[in-house]
């Protein structure tokens, strides 16, 4: 009994300044302790949001990312260290380890995986709320399909250059809900952006923009998780931190003709997995055409005569200039040094196998 009381006192002390805030209080803190949030992506925005949620005392975080830490990440991705980059540690594993150092009380589930139609349900299962920290609209439309179908709220967030954007999506649910539905992503953007789309590789990115996006996203998440969805913003908010420009688009009501939340036509959820995708921030192509277990020791022996090989329990890196292949345990690979998907697939077939 004494041990339980001591643990309770310790938690009250840890979160005392947050509990003093009238918007949360003791009851809200208990709600946070029992909440489960899934974060889709653990790059700049995802790492910042994960750190904020972990420090706020969210009981269970599920973090999903397909990528590994590199030196160029350290300018803006707050959970990672130079050692993580040197080891090419998967981002979710680096995040899990770092969170454990400053809040060992919470549960962190780390998935080194890509979110595609075949995996989205299993990766996001059980989450009370989904936070978007991805770098492409294809995945965001998939998240939107899943969230609307399942009646699970999610929060869109993006940052590029000095620009940030966030939007809360509160979908209809078959059960009794405590919120009035908002527009979904497809209500605002029926079609993906057309023409040239800037990325952090072409436009750069400020770490301040990342942190603003994450701070807004997590604040909205705290409103929802403490049982106050009525206080959540019902608009697409855009900010340019460099010019000071600000804009809002109303997302108060679902669009009746929306193909997703109106007609419940989930074309992205029903689609086939993507065979490859160019990643944000570097000259790379991802290959995930099939799932198969990889024996890293055997692969090292096969590849060693052809280039430099190093591996740990989570990934193998094969360097054969000008290309580097990072191979994950499930057979997925990231081919660096090209944006030519045909060449990437050729390199994969040649060195990993078809």
Catalytic residue among 187, 200, 258, 280: 200
Tell me the average pLDDT across 133-156.
94
Tell me the average pLDDT across 69-79.
91
pLDDT band, residue 1 (cuts 50/70/90):
very low
Q: Is the pLDDT of residue 30 over 60?
A: yes
CB 42 within 8 A of CB 63: yes
Q: What is the pLDDT of residue 51?
A: 97
Residue with tokens 């900010």: 239
Tokens of 191: 């079609």
Tens of pLDDT, residues 225-266: 999 999 999 999 999 999 999 999 999 999 999 999 999 999
Q: Is the pLDDT of residue 324 over 90?
A: yes
Distance CA(95)–CA(48), nearest Å, equals: 10
Long-range CB contacts (within 8 A, 24+) of 241-244: 241/162, 241/163, 241/164, 241/206, 241/208, 241/209, 241/212, 242/161, 242/162, 242/206, 243/162
Tens of pLDDT, residues 147-186: 999 999 999 999 999 999 999 999 988 765 679 999 999 9
Q: What is the pLDDT of residue 199?
A: 67
Q: What is the pLDDT of residue 3?
A: 44
Distance CA(154)–CA(64), nearest Å, equals: 15
191: DSSP letter: S
Q: Is the pLDDT of residue 277 over 70?
A: no
CB 277 within 8 A of CB 334: no
Q: What is the pLDDT of residue 137?
A: 86
Distance CA(227)–CA(221), nearest Å, equals: 10
Distance CA(140)–CA(144), nearest Å, equals: 6
Please confirm, yes or no, whether 261 is among the known catalytic residues. no
């Amino acid at each position: 009994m004494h041990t339980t009381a001591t643990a309770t006192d310790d938690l009250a002390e840890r979160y005392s300044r947050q509990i003093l805030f009238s918007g949360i209080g003791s009851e809200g803190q208990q709600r946070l302790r029992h909440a489960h949030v899934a974060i889709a992506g653990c790059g700049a925005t995802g790492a910042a949001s994960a750190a904020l949620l972990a420090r706020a005392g969210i009981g269970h975080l599920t973090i999903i990312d397909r990528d590994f830490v590199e030196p160029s990440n350290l300018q803006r991705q707050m959970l990672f260290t130079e050692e993580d980059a040197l080891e090419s540690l998967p981002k979710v594993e680096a995040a899990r380890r770092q969170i454990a150092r400053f809040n060992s009380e919470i549960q962190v589930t780390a998935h080194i995986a890509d979110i595609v139609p075949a995996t989205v349900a299993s990766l996001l299962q059980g989450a009370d709320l989904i936070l978007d920290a991805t770098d492409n609209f294809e995945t965001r439309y998939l998240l939107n399909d899943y969230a609307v179908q399942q009646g699970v709220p999610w929060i869109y967030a993006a940052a590029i250059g000095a620009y940030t954007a966030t939007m809360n999506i509160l979908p209809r649910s078959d059960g009794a809900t405590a919120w009035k539905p908002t527009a979904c992503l497809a209500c605002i953007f029926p079609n993906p952006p057309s023409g040239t789309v800037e990325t952090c590789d072409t436009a750069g990115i400020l770490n301040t923009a990342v942190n603003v996006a994450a701070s807004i996203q997590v604040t909205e998440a705290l409103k929802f998780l403490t049982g106050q969805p009525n206080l959540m913003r019902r608009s697409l908010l855009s900010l340019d931190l460099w010019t000071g420009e600000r804009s809002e688009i109303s997302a108060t009501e679902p669009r009746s003709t929306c193909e997703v939340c109106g007609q419940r036509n989930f074309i992205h959820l029903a689609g086939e997995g993507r065979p490859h995708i160019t990643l944000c921030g570097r000259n790379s192509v991802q290959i995930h055409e099939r799932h198969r277990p990889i024996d890293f020791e055997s692969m090292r022996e096969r590849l060693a005569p052809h280039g430099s090989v190093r591996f740990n329990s989570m990934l193998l890196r094969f360097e054969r200039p000008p290309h580097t292949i990072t191979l994950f345990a499930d057979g997925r690979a990231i081919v660096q040094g090209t944006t030519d998907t045909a060449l990437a697939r050729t390199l994969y077939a040649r060195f990993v196998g078809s």
